Amino acid sequence: MLVTAEGPSQGSPGVTAAEQASLMRSLGAETAFAMDAGGSAQLALNTGPVVPWSSPRALSDVLLLSYGGITLTPLPPRLSPNADHVDDSTTAVVRSPTPGVVTVTVARRTGRPTKRIWQAPLGPGAAKVNLDPKRLGLSDGVYVAVARQTPTNGTGETEQRRRVIVDRTLSALTARSSTTGAGKRARGRLAVGFRLLRPARVTVTVLSTSGSTIATLASNRRLPQGKRTIGWNRMRGRTLVSGVANVTVSAHTRFGTTGLQRSVTLQAPKRRP
């Protein structure tokens, strides 16, 4: 394992030697050693740095690892093909460093049934592969996408696997702000709407643009499937909350936790004429 951490140049305090040892042990390492720190602690994958540097230091010595097999870029942890145009599908990149026939399939974690997404001669080079659960007829569940290459020169096959969850539980998030009255009589309301495909434990929060919590409208509340609306009177004490905020909704089921976020402008009270 090769591990690098952000430091002061990335706005992070970095890690101490003791923290490095603890980190490597938590990752399962039995033997580990530190190579360097500061501007020499650079790690690149393919053509890009893992930790960004505004002005990377020139290196006189590097450790280069190469892999001659097939690669498939990581997939999003979760896809939600429920026609709300948020994570309905994804596009991955498959790379083959040598000529051969590449096949990309997807199957449930158990291995069945298997559906072929893409197959073509490839290499050396890369191709984009679209994973669309709706087009493939994938129901909700845990899936594994497999890219497999059969080299033209007859050497052994190589493959890479990527995990993804298909989860349509939460969709169609809306947030509508309104006010009535003026001055000290002003009252405001925020209506948060969403749709649940199945019963779930739902948490709804309103966050400031800096990420701090303004209000929690529901906390791990069990809700049945269907269209749901949760309201908030937008009052904090005697003050009507206004301004730009982010509404987040998360739903927990047997498939894990899925979430959506939407920005909303909380309307200010009208001024008296």
pLDDT one-digit tens code per residue, 152-196: 988 889 999 999 999 999 999 999 998 877 666 767 889 999 999
β-strand pairing of 44-45 with 200-207: unpaired
CATH number, domain with residue 82: 2.60.40.2550
The secondary structure of 167-180 as a DSSP string is --SEEEEEEEEEEE
Residues 14 and 87 in one domain: no
Between CA 135 and CA 173 the distance in angstroms is 23
User: By residue range, what is the domain housing residue 110?
Assistant: 71-166
Q: Evaluate if residue 273 carries a pLDDT over 60.
A: no
Q: Is residue 176 part of a domain?
A: yes
In this predicted structure, what is the pLDDT of residue 10?
87
- The amino acid sitting at 215 is A
Residues 96 and 117 in one domain: yes
pTM listed for this prediction: 0.74
Q: Is residue 143 part of a domain?
A: yes
In this predicted structure, what is the pLDDT of residue 271?
60
Stretch 57-66: mean pLDDT:
87
In this predicted structure, what is the pLDDT of residue 86?
83
Average pLDDT value over all residues in the chain: 90
Q: Is residue 272 part of a domain?
A: no
β-strand pairing of 226-232 with 235-236: unpaired
Q: Evaluate if residue 33 carries a pLDDT over 60.
A: yes
Stretch 137-155: mean pLDDT:
92
In this predicted structure, what is the pLDDT of residue 264?
94
Between CA 94 and CA 126 the distance in angstroms is 6
Between CA 57 and CA 11 the distance in angstroms is 17
Q: Evaluate if residue 270 carries a pLDDT over 80.
A: no
CATH number, domain with residue 175: 2.60.40.4070
- The number of folded domains in the chain is 3
Q: Evaluate if residue 136 carries a pLDDT over 60.
A: yes
Residues 195 and 238 in one domain: yes
Q: Is residue 271 part of a domain?
A: no
Of the pLDDT bands very low, low, confident and very high (cuts 50, 70, 90), residue 272 is low
Q: Is residue 237 part of a domain?
A: yes
Stretch 11-21: mean pLDDT:
90
In this predicted structure, what is the pLDDT of residue 160?
95
Stretch 95-120: mean pLDDT:
91
Stretch 124-145: mean pLDDT:
95
Give strand pairing partners of 149.
102, 158
Q: Is residue 273 part of a domain?
A: no
